Amino acid sequence: MRRKFLTNLILLLTLNLLIKPFWILGVDRSVQNMVGAADYGFYFAIFNFSFLFNILLDFGITNFNNKNIAQNNHLLNKHFSSIVILKLMLAVVFAVVTFSFGMIVGYNQHQLVMLGWMVFNQFLISFVLYLRSNISGLLLFKTDSMISVLDRTLMIIFCSILIWGHVTTEKFRIEWFVYAQTLAYLITAIIAFIIVKRKSAFTRLKWNRPFFVMIIKQSIPFAILALLMTFYNRIDSVMLERLLPGTQGDEQAGIYASSYRLLDATNMIAYLFAVLLLPLFSKMLKNGDEIVHIVKLSFKLLITLAIVIGIGSFFYSFELMNMLYTNHVKESADVFKWLMMGFIAVSTTYVFGTLLTANGNLKELNFIAATGMLLNISLNFILIPRLEAVGSAYSSIVTQFLSAIVQVIIAQRVFKFKIDYRFLISLLAFVVGVIFINIFSKHFIEQKWMYNFAGMVILSVVYASFLKLLNFKSLLSLIQKKAE
């Protein structure tokens, strides 16, 4: 199972490293530089607002379905046709609730029109994720890997034509960016639907009220968890736009978006671990397999990556932001350094939070998420009026680290993992070592920060190998063996 995990992880990482960084750092960044921080902040705040009630589109069905299909493949034929109807019904509820709250918070006509497109996009995203949960639940990881990058690939094509194709003499508008996303999501949804339809022998939609009630009841714990986590992950830019006066709110949301972009890119890589781990953990737990080895392997890989990226981004925050943006560079760097440190905590939750989800410890996860949401919102109310976007970054990092620590403690108690003090000492030594490597790397070659940054990464990887946090020999031997 470990070999299967590693083989498919490398495929998934390769595809996403080829496509998604170009989308985020090439296309998405170019759009913000073209339209400006205020216009992009306007889009970014509404985009995140549309995410707040996203759970109403899904109600935890995707996570429940991923776990359920991984453990019981034969249920795909029985469930698929009914869940599609349920998803369409939930889409109507989501649209009504989102527009209602949009009017309550005071969105004007322009904002509501933009919100309408976002609502439709959220439905398409949710539908694709549900379809992918069936594909990954069947352990068809290669197919899922292809679908995972299809929407971004299409968006790159469409946006590149609009930005660099000279198809219009008009100045690029943020609305065009949204329209391109809509078309890409729609095409991806159609292709994913065709794939699942063939696997499920789907013929027609089926109205099944008892099934709807049953699936919603079983999904409620997943839904509550998703709602709480969405609020404390997405509320920052919405609060910046609402709490700060006039165009200052849009501008600060735009600065936050600039800083968040690289975190979003790295987060995508970490999220891929969770996508693979959830069905694997679910199946292994059902079969009574030993999971400690794959938990340790996945955590070592992810936390090592996270520490290098998080600490490196802290020390090179200004250089990275100055390379990417033309405006508000210092302000973005001040926010970015703290957001990226939070990536270490986020990566931890992608392993241990996924493990607890697969084991059904949703009561504990919901308590953690509820506490994190209340803490994040409270800190934002206090810090945003005083520190603007930086205050929101402080709120985020405090919440993320506290949540990660509690998840690790609960997982250790639930699964009775033995505390590996040698590993913890190695991890602490690695953190201290990476900090010193970054301090010295700033002075390797004067005026050549990119070489210094690359040198820092190489030295950090070598140091991780020396501490046996990364063991390339065993990793390669596992990959070369035939997948189970």
pLDDT at 477: 41
pLDDT at 311: 95
pLDDT at 244: 87
User: Using 50, 70 and 90 to split pLDDT, how confident is the model at 463?
Assistant: very high
- Rounded to an integer, the average pLDDT of 435-446 is 89
User: Using 50, 70 and 90 to split pLDDT, how confident is the model at 203?
Assistant: low
User: Using 50, 70 and 90 to split pLDDT, how confident is the model at 274?
Assistant: confident
- Per-residue pLDDT tens for 155-174? 999 988 888 877 777 888 88
pLDDT at 215: 73
pLDDT at 10: 67
- Taking 3-state DSSP, the helix, strand and coil percentages for the chain, each rounded to the nearest 5, stand at 85, 0, 15
In whole angstroms, what is the distance from residue 83 CA to residue 276 CA? 22
Whole-model pTM?
0.73
Winning range, highest mean pLDDT, from 7-16, 116-125, 470-479: 116-125
Res 302 pLDDT > 60? yes
In whole angstroms, what is the distance from residue 153 CA to residue 292 CA? 36
Residue 475, class by beta-carbon neighbours within 10 Å (0-12 exposed, 13-18 middle, 19+ buried)?
middle
Q: Across the chain, what does the average pLDDT equal?
A: 83
Tell me how far apart the 2 most distant CA atoms of the chain are, in Å: 69
Domain limits at 301? 2-418
pLDDT at 123: 93
Which carries the bigger pLDDT value, residue 206 or residue 33?
33
Residue 129, class by beta-carbon neighbours within 10 Å (0-12 exposed, 13-18 middle, 19+ buried)?
buried
In whole angstroms, what is the distance from residue 128 CA to residue 371 CA? 30
31 within some domain: yes
118 within some domain: yes
Which carries the bigger pLDDT value, residue 128 or residue 293?
128
In whole angstroms, what is the distance from residue 395 CA to residue 389 CA? 10
35 within some domain: yes
User: Using 50, 70 and 90 to split pLDDT, how confident is the model at 110?
Assistant: confident
Res 475 pLDDT > 60? no
Q: Which of 248-262, 290-304, 306-320, 463-477 has the lowest mean pLDDT?
A: 463-477
- Rounded to an integer, the average pLDDT of 300-307 is 90
Q: Which of 129-143, 231-245, 395-409 has the lowest mean pLDDT?
A: 129-143
pLDDT at 214: 76
Q: How far is the first Cα of the chain from the last one, in angstroms, to the nearest whole number?
A: 6
- Rounded to an integer, the average pLDDT of 35-48 is 84
Res 1 pLDDT > 70? no
Task: Specify the DSSP class assigned to residue 138.
Answer: T
Nearest to 134 by CA among 181, 55, 194: 194
Res 479 pLDDT > 60? no
Res 211 pLDDT > 60? yes
Residue 477, CB half-sphere, CA atoms under 13 Å: how many?
Answer: 4
pLDDT at 406: 95
- Residue 465 CB partners (closer than 8 Å, separation 6+): 471, 472
Helix runs in 53-74, H state only: 55-58, 61-71
384 within some domain: yes
pLDDT at 172: 84
Res 482 pLDDT > 50? no
- Per-residue pLDDT tens for 47-95? 888 888 887 887 767 766 666 665 665 566 666 767 778 888 889 999 9
Res 111 pLDDT > 70? yes
B/e letters for 85-96, b = 16+ CB within 10 Å, e = fewer, are ebbeebbeebbe
Task: Specify the DSSP class assigned to residue 10.
Answer: H
473 within some domain: no
In whole angstroms, what is the distance from residue 422 CA to residue 323 CA? 39
Q: Which of 58-67, 79-88, 274-283, 320-329 has the lowest mean pLDDT?
A: 58-67
Give percent of the chain above pLDDT 70: 87
Q: What total number of domains does the chain contain?
A: 1
Res 422 pLDDT > 50? yes
Which helix or strand (DSSP H or E) is residue 188 part of?
A: helix 174-200
Q: Which two tokens stand for residue 338?
A: 């703290």
In whole angstroms, what is the distance from residue 67 CA to residue 276 CA? 11
Res 483 pLDDT > 50? no
In whole angstroms, what is the distance from residue 163 CA to residue 152 CA? 16
Task: Specify the DSSP class assigned to residue 108.
Answer: -
Nearest to 20 by CA among 148, 143, 106: 148
Q: How far is CA 124 from CA 47, 54, 92, 383, in A?
A: 14, 11, 13, 35
456 within some domain: no
Which carries the bigger pLDDT value, residue 285 or residue 68?
285
423 within some domain: no
Query: One-letter amino acid identity for 186?
Result: L
In whole angstroms, what is the distance from residue 214 CA to residue 56 CA? 16
Give percent of the chain above pLDDT 90: 31
CA dihedral 181, 183, 189, 190 (to 10 degrees): -170
- Per-residue pLDDT tens for 345-380? 999 998 999 899 888 888 898 899 889 989 999 999
Res 397 pLDDT > 90? yes
In whole angstroms, what is the distance from residue 59 CA to residue 94 CA? 10
481 within some domain: no
Res 431 pLDDT > 90? yes
pLDDT at 92: 93
Residue listed under structure tokens 């379905």: 65
Residue 417, class by beta-carbon neighbours within 10 Å (0-12 exposed, 13-18 middle, 19+ buried)?
middle
Winning range, highest mean pLDDT, from 102-106, 164-168, 245-249: 102-106
Nearest to 67 by CA among 140, 138, 141, 143: 138
In whole angstroms, what is the distance from residue 331 CA to residue 262 CA? 15
- Residue 339 CB partners (closer than 8 Å, separation 6+): 259, 260, 263, 393, 396, 397
pLDDT at 218: 73
